[in-house]
Each structure stands twice: as C-alpha cells, then as structure tokens.
Structure 1
Amino acid sequence: MDQNILFSTIHSVLTKKGIKGKAHQAFIDGLIGSGNLLHYLYSGLYSKTDDHEKDFIEILEIIIDSYLERSPSLKKRDKAKENKDLWFLSNELAGMSLYVDRFAGNINGLSKRIDYLQDLGVNLLHLMPLFESPQEASDGGYAVSNYRVIDKRFGNIKDLKKLQQLLLEKDMYLMIDIVLNHTSDQHEWAQKAKQGDPYYQGFYYLYEDRSIPDMMESHLPEVFPESSPGSFVYNKDMDKWVMSVFHNYQWDLKFKNPEVLKAMLRTIFFYANLGVDVLRIDAPAFIWKQMGTSCQNLPEAHMILQLIKAALQIATPGMAILGEAIVAPREIMAYFGNGYMQNKECDLAYNASQMALQWDALATTDTRNMLCNQDIILQKPLGASWINYSRCHDDIGLTFEDSCIEQVGYTPHLHREFLKNYLSGRIDSSPSCGELFAVNPKTNDARISGSLASLCGLEKALQKQDKNAMQTSIDKILLIQANSILLGGIPMLFYGDEVGYTNDYSYLNDPKKSYDNRWMHRPLIDWKKNAKAKKNGTIENKVFTGIQKILNIRKAHYLFSDYNNVEWLDSHNRSVVGFNRNLKGKQMFCLFNYSPVPQGLTYYVFSSVREQSNKLYDLYSEKYINIGADYEHLLFEPYQFYVLSNY
C-alpha cells in the first residue's frame, strides 16, 4: 500500500470511529507513527490472501475499538508505567505463579490470601489458566474451550475484576495466560468445524487423508511422546485428520488464516482491558506451521508476535508480553526481536536455560557449564527482561548448549543421561526425588518432573527423619532461589515452594491427571502447613523467612533492577559461581557454592573494590567480611551463598 494511501486509510478509519481532538492526540500519533510497521508486518504474513487490504483495515478497527474501550483508570495506569521507564525492569517486582483452585479454592479465596503473599514479598501474581476448559481433558487449563468465560471452578469475570481492583489498590500486578497455538476440541470454533461449517474449518489444519500429515510428521518432534504420540488426530465427525501437536484434544489454530489472527487479537485486547499487566503467551514457538520444517521458531511466528506487540503498544501500552518459548539459549534471543525489530516483540521471556543450569550445577557440583552458557544469555537486549525461576508448573528441560557441555569436558548425551538419572533419584547416592517426564522411546530424550523441595532432597530427608539432611535440603532451596532472585530479571516463585512442599502423589488416583506426572509438583495447599511459616524452627519457617529475606534484599537495592548490569565472575573454583551487580558506582557480589563440602574463593575476585574499602557487608548473614590478600580465601560452608555490598 502506498504511504499516502496508508495514511489516508488510517485517517478515514479514525474519522469513522469518531477519534479526533487533543484528548486522543497521543493515540492518533501512535497509530499513525506505527502505521507503516503494522502494514509491513500484516502484509508480510497475508499479502497473498484475498481481501488482505480490507482485513488490514479491520485490524486497525480492532486497535481503535480496544483503545476506546479502555477505562480511564487503566489509561492512567498506562501513563504511570510509562513514567517508570520500562516498569517491568524494576528491582521491586517479585512474582508467584499459582493455580487458583489449588492455592486458594477460587478467585475470592485468593483475594483473602493477598496479605500472605505481600508478607512474603510477592507483588506480581501469575494466575495459571482461568478460562473454561473441559475438566476431563484440560492440560491444566491449557486446552481452552472459551477464551472469555472464567471456569466456574474459579468464579466468574466479576470476581476477576474485583481481584484486579484489589491488586491495584495494593500496588500489585496481574499476569494471566493466553493460549495462541491451539484450542480445546470442545471450543465453539472446533464444534462448528465438526458440524461442517467451512468458515470455522478454516481455523484449523484439516486433511482428508494421512499423506500431508505423514510428510509433516517426518520433521516434527513429539511434544508428549508417551501420552500423545504423533502430531495429528483423526476426527470421525469430519472424517478428517486434525493437527494436534500437543495433546490429541488440543487442535492447532491455523494462523495462516487472517480470521484467526483477528479473533485472537480481539481476545488479547479483551484481557488487556480487564487490567492485565503481563500477558503470558503460551507456546509461541509453535504458532506458524510450514511443510518441511519442525514448525517451531519460524520467522512468521515472530512476525505475529511483533504485530501483536505493535498493536498493544498503540492501544494498551501498559500490558507487557511474556513469550513462553522454552527453547535453546541461542533461539530464545529472537523472541526479543532482531535487528530493527529488537525490543519490538516480547518484553519478557523465561530464562529456562539458567533454571536448568542451576540443576546441572547442583547435580554435578560443577558450575562451569552455567558460566559457559552466560555468553549467550547475556546477549539479551537492554530494555527486555527475563523471568527467572527455579521451578514452575512445567517440567525441567535440559535446554543448554551442547558446545558448552563439551567445552567443560563432558559428552552431551551422557551428561544429560546422568542429570536425568540424578534428578529422578535413579542414582543411589542422589537425594533427589523426581520422575522422568515425556520419555521418547525413539530417542530416549526425557524431561524431569518434581517439586523444588523434593529435587533438593527434602522428601528423602523427611522419610529418613534425618535432621542434617533436612537442613542441607533447605540450604539448597535457598541457594537456588537466591540465584534466581538476585540475577537480572523478574523472580517468579512457584506456589508451595515458599514453604517447602514435597511431591504430591495423589494425582495417580485421578484418571484425569494420572497420565501426567507434572501434577506431582502442583500441590493442593494445606493452609495449616503454610501457617507453620510463622512458627520458628519449622522447615516451613526456615524456607519462608529465607526467601522473604532475599526478596527484601532485592527490593531494597536499585542495582538489582535489570539494566543488563550483570557481570559473571571467574572464580577459579568449579563449585563456586558468582556475578557482580553494578550500577552508578555501586557493586554487589552474589556468590554461590553448589558443593556439599566447604569451599574457598580467592579474594582476588574483589580486586575491583579493594581500593575503595577493605571490607564488604553480607546482606544475608548481616556480617562484615574483611578482604584479604589475593592468595587468601573467602570460605564457604556447603551450599552457602553471599550477597556482598561495597556500600
């Protein structure tokens, strides 16, 4: 479209919608200023479709309608966030991810637990999928049957709005999920497709026979090879094969059809205007399919995310995007945008490699693999940020670079085999109690399930009533959490981990869950247990107060904001790793011992601050340490960490 025609089109749509005058000038300027980008992205995806210019005008109308529907209070909050200069980089943010029903019964019950979360130091709530999904085939809520209706188990949309208002009053933030890649096979669109409606059949990948599915599957990795092998399912109602990359009941949406994009964009804006602060886009790597590829991380998937981001930035700029792309470190960087599109795609991404590298270090007592991978992880652009975490609702995938494993002297497949056996407790000396998940019988690949506490040895320690082992497991929990909390990015705790919940095996008695061992680390909260967080000397108290203290340290020091101000240190001790957080002349040394035995680190690591002071203050133990000569050593107890300040 010619630029003059483009601007004329935008003005025409604005006039049609009654948008004019000073009150809307910032929005008008934003829409016109981003017009070329929007059209470039849309045309790159859909220029070969019929009526693509008409469809583009409809995209403009969706953006304008969403702006008009945004409440004055949310527009005011947008402005406040803008004044904070990328609010999601702040050291004051700390999150928790939780299942509403398993944490508090329902949304109203969650409202009554806000004080508990604030006491811990959490001010960003990630509510796992809330919208309708069939209980018998929900994938934990990620098989959505209605994007606009809250599942009755949790409450209703009014309850969510009340919760959002409460969070606003308490200066807290809300994050929810949207599943772009697929719907439940019981979604209205899928039901109409089954009934033969050609419009909705166009929303999915449907094939008359196995010829194309067979060709595609020759390039597609299996996501759930045990419970849902293959990537297509036969539907007898249509007598067609349906693409279902995840579970058989999750039908992949066909984003090659612009009607799908428009429908999902309306849903995204619906969430934005509910007051959502962070939208977690589930499985964005899969949203574009192309014959002859793995159908992951394709350029068109990035263009869709960039178009969504551009649209949000115009109409609802206060909502940030988190891309849940659990891919190798080199591939994750693309989700922040490359080249001109840098910082024009996802604002946030999961630091999944760092999470896995912590478990690698804990299992091997060797931090060199963690250190090697930082060359890639540190390429994150300034202005974007990580979600740092130790555990989540999902499994642990060993997504780090083979080249780094080789560089530190290990064989990649043997190293991963060791990690799987260690974390699943198959090695006699391992204290971990995990389980292998999604074992692929063809490749022997697998991921790991298990709660933070059980993987750190607490479950076995409790079984043996070994008090020393219990304390060791607590030390491991706090070590791992400290690394996640103090590194650049938003720390995201997983509910139950703050008081040391071990694996819950009751899922085995539920046929709706028994096929998926990830439910072992998705606990049903017993508030009598959580109340022990207030009782001195209990395991719950030690874990809760330890995490609480680390979060308070983070929030008290601006240099823990994410301004790419992380410098990893060369410790010359393979069991000890650390990084320097520095900003405006102030420095913080965060040091971690991943060994079960005492270790030492030469004071040479502090050479950059020795001229300013001969001592540092450990914010965690609240003690000073004197900086010795370069050949002398700072001593670490097993699994000890330091947070050393030079100011």
Structure 2
Amino acid sequence: MIGSNLNGTATVGAPGASRGIQFESELSLKRLLPRIEPVWQAAGTDAKVQHEFETRLEEHWLPLFVLLRELYGDRYDFFYHLEQILLTAAQAWANRPAALRAVDHHRINEPDWFMSEKMVGGALYVDLFSDNLGQLRQHIGYFQSLGLTYLHLMPLFAVRPGDNDGGYAISNYRSVDPRLGTLEDLKLLADDLREAGITLVLDFVFNHTSDDHEWAQRAQAGDLEYQQFYYIFPDREMPDQYERTLREIFPTVRRGNFTWHDGMQQWVWTTFNNFQWDLNYHNPAVFRAMLEEMFFIADTGVDILRLDAVAFIWKQMGTSCENLPQAHLLIQAFNRLARIATPGLLFKSEAIVHPDEVVKYIGRDECQISYNPTLMALLWESLATREVKLLSQSLSHRHKLPTETAWVNYLRCHDDIGWTFDDADAAAIGINAYNHRQFLNRFYTGQFEGSFARGIPFQENLATGDMRIAGTMASLAGLELAIEEDDETAKQEAIGRILLLQGVTLSIGGIPLLYLGEEWGMLNDYDFVKDPAKAGDTRWVHRPKMKWEFLEELDDSVTVEGGSIRRRLYRALQNMIAVRSSLPALAGQNMELVNTGNPHVLSFVRHRDAHRLIVVANFCERPQSMSGNMLRTAGLGRFFEDALSGQTYGTSQDLHIEPYQILWLKRV
C-alpha cells in the first residue's frame, strides 16, 4: 500500500501496517541515534554539521526504514545491518569535504539545477582522449570552448588485466587504474572541473565485480562470508532452474548465465562476461559494502553517478531476473542514503530495456536522470526510413517525465545500438516490429540496397535473428561511405544528417550528451582488431583515439584532407551549443509535438515560463514543406527567426525546409 511519513512523503509499506511500521522506525531511530555520537567525536564534527545530518536523517528515515525492512526485514541480522548502514551514512557526512558540503547546500536549495539550458554533456574514455587524468586536466579549456558543462568519464577504477569489458570489470573501487593516474589525480581533476562549472559524472558498477576483486578472491579462497556476496552453486541444479527464464546478454561470447570455476569447483552467476561476478543483494552485507564504495566515490568530487546495469541487480527464481520490483527498492534505498549523507549527488539510470521499464527507474526518489535509449534508436530509425511516424508515435506518450527529473539524450555512446522501441507503438502505425528491426540491422550494416551506413554487427545471434549495431556516428550517418566514394553530394548529406540529429537532441528536452569525437565526425577505427584484448568486441570500432591535431584545422588558413568537413562539423556543433545555452525555452523537459501533416518532418514546441521555441526538422534528402498557418498557431506568432542561422520566416506562406535542415524558430 502507499502510506505517508510524518512529512507527507509517499512511502511503500505493507497493507494495514503503516502505523506499526512508523512506530518501529521511530523506536529504531531513537535507539540508534546515540550510536552515532562516537562517529562525530572521532571526526571532530561540529554541532552545526551534526544538526544538518540529523535533520535530513529525520526527513528520510521512515521511507528508508520501510525500504530496508521490505528488502531485509526477514533476515536474522536485519537490525545489525540497519545500525551499520546508519553508521556508514554518518561517517560519510563526517568525512565529506567542505567544498562538497557547500555544493550540497546549493543543490538542496536548487533541486532542478541539472535541468538548465546551459547543461550540455560529453562522454569519453580518459586514455583514448587524453592518455591520463593529469593530461585531461590540461584539456578542460577544450570542453569549455565547445560549450560543455557536464563530463562523463567512462570507468576509470582499477580493473582486471586483459579483457575487462571496457572498464566494467572493477577490481577495486577505491583505486584508479594506474595507467590513468591516481586517486589524487582524480580529486584534482574534480576540483578543476568544479571551478570551471563542469559537472563530473562517473560510473558506479554495482551489479557485479571483477573475478579478481578482493571479495571474489576471498570467496575463491573458501571464505563462506564472501561466497555469500555472490551467487555460487555447487552443481547445476539451481542454475538450470534459473536458466529456464533468463536471456543471454552476450550469446556470441558465451552461452548461459553461469560460469564454472575450477578452483572452487562451483558455478558462479555471471550475467555479462565470465569474469564479471554478479553481486548477491539478497545479502544486506552486500548492500552495506556497496554503500561504502558509493560514498567513497562520491567524496572524490563526483556530481552524478551512472548506475550501471540497473535492470539486473535483483534475482528471483522463475523470473527473467530483470526489472524486478526489488531492484527499484534497492536503488531507492541508495537514493535515500545519498540524500542523507551526500545530498548533492544525483543518480543516472542505465536501463537499456523496454521503454515501459526504462521510465520506471526515473523519479526524484530513484534515478533523477536517465539515458533515453528509445529516442536514440528512433532517431536512427527515422534517418533510415526518412519518416518520423514511429518517432512521433513514441514521443507522443513516452517523453514526459516526473518533476525534477530529466532525460539524457544521446546519439552514440561507448555501447551498441539496440532497437528498443515498443512493438505496440510500431503496430499502432502498421509496422511489423520484428521485420522492421531486421530491416534496420541490414540498413545500418550497409547490407540494404541504397544504405549510406557503415556500421558493423555486435552480438549477432543467428538463432534468434537478434543483432545490435556498432559504429561511430559519422560512419552510421554516411560520412565514411561518402569519403570512400569521394562523393561531394553524399558528403554534404552526411554532414546534414549529423547536424540534424545533434540539433534534435540539443533541443528536445533534457540533457544532451555527446560521445566525444562526434564533434569532429570521427570514423570507425577498424584497427581495434590488432589488440587481442579488444579484438573480440566490435564495440571498440566506435571508440577511436582522439586526434589532437584536428584542433589545428580550426584555423581557416589550414588546408588538409578532410579538414574542411571536420572544421564545419565542429563549428556548427559549437554554435548549436552556444545558441542552446542562450535559449531559456530549452530548459527542463516540457515538449509538445506539432502535427506537421508531413511524414518526413518532425516538429515540436519547447516552452518555459514566457519563453517559447518551435523546432522543425526534415529527415529527408529532399526539400519538404509545412503549413505556415500551422507554424503560426504552434509558435503563437506571425514572424519567426531561426536562432541557428538568423534567417527570418513569415507564416503567410508555407515554410520550406531544406534537406536534413533543422530550424529553431523563435517569435520576432
């Protein structure tokens, strides 16, 4: 049932038990509060700082207690872990650096700080972009020049040698990969980014650890306490029962979800790779241990944690072990504890699952921001079909989010593209979803006649027909093929497609996120196959190393092969970001679709307070038109200026849109 705490905040509780639970939570807190005193004394925490913690603790304690009781209340050691969790939170606040406490205070008073029109993100691998953290500090000016205010660094903590799933097999959450630098280097970078007004985002890989993590090593040594940190089975009886309802994530790498460990002579649950051991969150000791790691990472100066693989964190026999209710309870419990001890910290959900499930992770009490995989997939779908019917169908009921939350809108990332649109959305407009996905796979691997794309398959499953797509944005948008064929018209069309998609993600509502390299139109890097640790993972094709000599090409007097294309893309994107940052209408999430009557043209209105902007985008290589009267009624004006080009348009005639053109129209 839905109950409420003393402050009126909605909480989940057992039917008819809300008053009893409230009494239990208040009595538990009364008994536990004196246990915190030694924490304050040991840290020399002053009375004001203690009071701030205890005020937030009182605000969030009841919903936190309900969540933890729901997850672990039937455990014999529940109250021991409850006490340890509370002490962990108090220790985190006591150790919180003063500069981060100041950020906390600001964000408590401005909870929608991340929804500004000035928020524009970039993501990168440290070693591929700057070699190491020290050199990355020297490139902060580059981010500022491009207009970025949000920087996501792909996993940088210590990992296992060799294949480590691109950094997602963590050996030690408290140590930076020595090839990238030290923990002190990370803290210095965080300080510099904060001074530059750039939000820092790091990954929290909390579904699994590497098989060489200390906990896994202790489990391998026979320590029963740490074997209970994972799912370890003596024979195939239970794994086989689980497998009946599980899907395979990397079917071309390995079959099934369990790995035989010769040393232990037992089976280990490994959803992703055989060296990534799934953590057992049925054990409250795992929750508490990962809470400690989360607080440690938060105190390096990170502003947002990307929660990796959120869909998989709870297992239950007879289910798919994805998107289970307890997964949401776990994240909500982490959220409440962050709001108590590190209140400036936000969570970003990484749930590449069905659209109906993605949105369930988004909320002020769960993940305040989330990747938008459906928008990403459907923007590429619209480029392939030259039509926006499926995109519009999805946006019509999937874009809206709860208050104080936001989408993270991206076009490419370190990962593959999966066609995660809803089959029902496709059927509603007469599309067979299975056949359409097969078409998209053929199109984006260049196997469909007339395709401009040069993607390559990732995890192709011949048995099911499933496939995902790897490739850089520029290669998928046609630039690689155009350059190969030295076709000037095709080059211009590819540039148009790239800027069209960037223009949509920068304006549709939420936080736009570039995968750095996109600003230069970087092409697929096929040399990844030369590295044995990467050769088996085709996603490395779209993880090229930054070429800093490109900056020289921003000088118009420099002429090099391909330089004019890279310069044009960079300058155009830089201008788009600057214009976005000047338009208050682009803050927040509010977006209303405009029915253009043209299947090739997407249009929507963005508004905030008295500010209004109408976006018009042509997804076709031929000129299109839209009713001038429709523009007048949607934009509430007779004359409009394109904020990107400065060109003025009237509404007495139809609006003509050039091939792959995007317009950001404001009333004049």
1:429 aligns with 2:450: yes
Alignment of 1:23-422 (within 5 A): 23-337=49-363, 343-422=364-443
> Within the alignment, does 1:7 sit opposite 2:32 as a pair?
no
Q: C-alpha offsets along residues 213-250 of structure 1, whole Å, 9 cap, x if unaligned?
A: 11111111111010122100100101001000101111
Preserved contact between residue 97 and residue 126 of structure 1 (Cα < 8 Å): yes
Match of 2:532 among 511, 514, 517: 511
**Structure 1 Cα separation of the partners of residues 484 and 299 of structure 2:** 49
Q: C-alpha offsets along residues 555-586 of structure 1, whole Å, 9 cap, x if unaligned?
A: 11122111x32111111101000110012232
Asked if the contact 2:312/2:327 (under 8 Å) is kept, the reply is yes
What SS is found at the alignment partner of 1:639?
Answer: coil
Paired with 1:567 and 1:268, the residues of 2 have a C-alpha distance of 37
Deviation string, structure 1 residues 3-23 (Cα, Å, up to 9, x no partner): 441231242233343377344
CA drift at 1:534: 4.1
Q: Secondary structure at the match of 2:438?
A: helix
1:573 aligned residue: 598
Alpha-carbon offset, residue 58 of structure 1: 0.6
Could you tell me how far apart the structure 2 residues matched to 1:499 and 1:539 are?
A: 8
Q: Which residue in 2 is equivalent to 1:472?
A: 493
Q: Distance in 2 between matches of 1:7 and 1:188?
A: 33
**Distance of 2:109 and 2:285 partners within structure 1:** 36
Displacement of 1:609 in angstroms is: 6.0
1:223 is paired with a residue of what secondary structure?
coil
AA aligned opposite 1:246? F
Kindly indicate whether the alpha-carbon contact (under 8 Å) linking 1:499 and 1:533 is maintained by their aligned counterparts in 2. no
Q: Which moved more, 1:580-589 or 1:317-326?
A: 580-589
Q: In structure 2, give the amino acid aligned to 1:552.
A: A
Q: Measure, in 2, the Cα distance between the counterparts of 1:376 and 1:290.
A: 31
TM-score after normalising by structure 2: 0.93
Q: What is the CA–CA distance in structure 1 between the aligned matches of 2:360 and 2:120, rounded to whole Å?
A: 25
Distance 1:71 1:22 in 2: 15
What residue is the counterpart of 1:619 in the other structure?
Answer: 643
- Cα shift readout 1:74-93 (whole Å, capped 9, x = no counterpart): 11111222333421111111
When residues 63 and 455 of structure 1 are mapped into structure 2, their CA distance, relative to the original with a 3 A threshold, is same
Q: Which runs of 5+ in 2 are unaligned?
A: 1-20, 558-562
Matches of 2:438 and 2:634, distance apart in 1? 42
For 2:28, the aligned partner's letter is L
2:665 match: secondary structure: strand
Indicate conservation of the 8 Å contact 1:406/1:412, yes or no: yes
After superposition, give the CA deviation of every residue in 1:104-136 in whole Å (9 maximum; x if it has no partner).
Answer: 110111111111111111121100000011231
SS of match in other structure, 1:93 = coil
Q: Given that residues 623 and 659 in structure 2 are in contact (C-alpha distance below 8 angstroms), is that contact kept between their aligned partners in structure 1?
A: yes
* Superposed displacement of residue 471, structure 1: 1.3
AA matched with 2:419 = L
CA distance in 2, matches of 1:401, 1:433: 25
Instruction: Give the structure 2 partner of residue 340 of structure 1.
Output: none
Could you tell me whether the CA contact under 8 Å between 2:455 and 2:476 is conserved in 1? yes
Asked whether the equivalents of residues 6 and 35 of structure 1 are also in contact (C-alpha less than 8 Å), the reply is no
2: CA distance, partners of 1:83 / 1:430: 51
TM-score (norm 1): 0.96
Counterpart pick for 1:459 among 474, 480, 483: 480
Per mean C-alpha deviation after superposition, the further-off stretch among 536-545 and 169-178 is 536-545
Letter in 1 for 2:282: K
Cα offset for 1:171? 1.4
Cα distance in 1 for residues equivalent to 2:550 and 2:180: 23
Instruction: Say whether the 8 Å CA contact 2:495–2:569 is kept in structure 1.
Output: yes
Task: Please give the alpha-carbon distance, in whole angstroms, between the structure 2 residues aligned to 1:152 and 1:375.
Answer: 47
1 CA distance for matches of 2:242 and 2:216? 22
Please report how far the alpha carbon of residue 604 of structure 1 lies from its aligned counterpart in structure 2 after TM superposition. 2.9
Distance 1:533 1:250, change over 3 A: farther
1:574-593 equivalences in 2 (<5 Å): 574-593=599-618
Q: Is 1:551 aligned with 2:580?
A: no
Identity %: 38
**Aligned partners of 1:13 and 1:60 also within 8 Å:** no
AA of the residue aligned to 1:549: N
Q: How does 1:459-538 map to 2 (within 5 A)?
A: 459-535=480-556, 538=564
- Alpha carbons 1:499, 1:530 under 8 Å: kept: no
Q: 2: distance between equivalents of 1:41 and 1:466? A: 60
The residue aligned with 1:441 is 462
SS for the counterpart of 2:502 is helix
Tell me the matched-pair count.
637
Alpha-carbon distance in 2 for matches of 1:151, 1:123: 25
Partner amino acid for 2:593? W
- The answer to whether the Cα contact below 8 Å between 1:329 and 1:376 also exists between their aligned partners in 2 is no
Deviations 1:451-494 (A, max 9, x none): 00000000011111112211111110000011111111111100
Match of 2:39 in 1: 17
Q: Is the 8 A contact 1:38 1:307 kept in 2?
A: yes
Amino acid at match of 1:370: L
Partners of 1:238 and 1:211 lie apart in 2 by 17
Deviations 1:15-48 (A, max 9, x none): 3433773443232111012111111111111111
Q: Which amino acid in structure 2 is aligned with residue 390 of structure 1? A: L
Mapped to 2, the partners of 1:201 and 1:442 lie a distance apart of: 35
- Counterpart-to-counterpart distance in 1, 2:353 and 2:52: 37
Pair 1:272–1:371, CA change in 2 (3 A): same
- Secondary structure class of the residue paired with 1:625: strand
Q: Distance in 1 between matches of 2:630 and 2:50?
A: 54
CA distance in structure 2 between the aligned counterparts of 1:609 and 1:198, rounded to whole angstroms: 65
CA pair 627-256 structure 1, distance change in 2 beyond 3 A: same
Structure 1 partner of 2:657:
636
CA shift digits 1:572-628 (9 cap, x unpaired) = 101000110012232101111100111111123223367x64210101111111112
SS of match in other structure, 1:254: coil
Q: SS of the residue aligned with 2:162?
A: helix
Structure 1 residue identity aligned to 2:632: S
Aligned partners of 1:530 and 1:540 also within 8 Å: no
The 8 Å contact of residues 232 and 267 in structure 2, kept in 1 or not, is answered as yes
Task: Report the secondary structure of 1:183's partner residue.
Answer: strand
Deviations, residues 393-414 of structure 1 (Å, cap 9, x unaligned): 0000100111121122221111
Is the contact between residue 330 and residue 376 of structure 1 (CA under 8 Å) also seen in structure 2? no
- In structure 2, the residue corresponding to 1:14 is in which secondary structure? helix
Determine if contact 2:585/2:611 at 8 Å carries over to the other structure: yes
C-alpha distance after superposition, 1:54-76 (max 9, x if no partner): 11011100110000000111111
Structure 1 contact 256–288 (Cα < 8 Å) conserved: yes
Structure 1 window deviating more from structure 2 (613-622 vs 279-288): it is: 613-622
1: CA distance, partners of 2:26 / 2:401: 37
